Amino acid sequence: MATMKDRAVLQTLFYPNVPFDEDFQEEKGKQAIQEGGFDPELLRQATHLEAQGIAAAEGGELALALEKLNQAIQLLPARASAFNNRAQALRLKGDVTKALEDLEAALKLSKGVGPVARQGFVQRGLIQRLQGQDEAARSSFEQAAALGSIFARRQLALMNPYAALCNQMLSEVMRKSHPKEEKETC
């Protein structure tokens, strides 16, 4: 049976460009500490609704996902996580403006620290990058990287023209030094 850490490593290997490549075990503990101020029963209900919303979004049922996430937010409007997840569902639906509003709410509620803030900065950076706002995206990725996001560090490297040139030159050198291996793997 694979541990959470094993799954995180496999996730990073097979999906290196997926933003949520962090140590999930450690994050669960951090999030639990951050959410200690909520009524336990309301937190349980909100977490359950949020999980249902995430599952619905993953299944392509965005209307149901938004309904569940809205209910979670109504139960605990000071909880950042549901705003962060609703932002993802809104982005998938194509409502980037409302997604950014939810990300700002999540970042404000999380006070810019912890796993929810890190994910919020990454999501905001991805949206900003898609909108051609590279400087704003760079700032968001820097904030996520400062909170430990490996994905954000990769994005910053990709946005750095010198790093891209260096990677291109290194790839060329490796290809030239091992031409037989390349043919065998293709």
pLDDT digit string, tens, across residues 83-101: 999 999 999 999 999 999 9
Question: What is the amino acid identity at position 34?
Answer: Q
Phi/psi of residue 36, each to 5°? -65, -15
Q: What share of the chain is helix, strand, coil (3-state, %, to 5)?
A: 80, 0, 20
Would the pLDDT of 80 be above 80?
A: yes
Q: How far apart are CA 168 and CA 166, in angstroms?
A: 5
Alpha carbon 14 to chain centroid, angstroms: 16
Would the pLDDT of 14 be above 50?
A: no
Neighbours of 172 (CB within 10 A): 10
Q: Poorest-confidence range of 25-34, 102-111, 130-139, 157-166?
A: 25-34
DSSP track, 87-109 = HHHHHHHT-HHHHHHHHHHHHHH
Question: Which 3 state secondary structure label does DSSP give 76?
Answer: coil
Q: Look at 31 and 166; give whichever has higher pLDDT.
A: 166
Would the pLDDT of 47 be above 90?
A: yes
The pLDDT assigned to 179 comes to 66
Mean pLDDT of 31-58: 86
Alpha carbon 80 to chain centroid, angstroms: 14
pLDDT digit string, tens, across residues 154-171: 999 889 877 656 767 777
Q: What share of the chain has pLDDT > 70, as a percent? A: 74
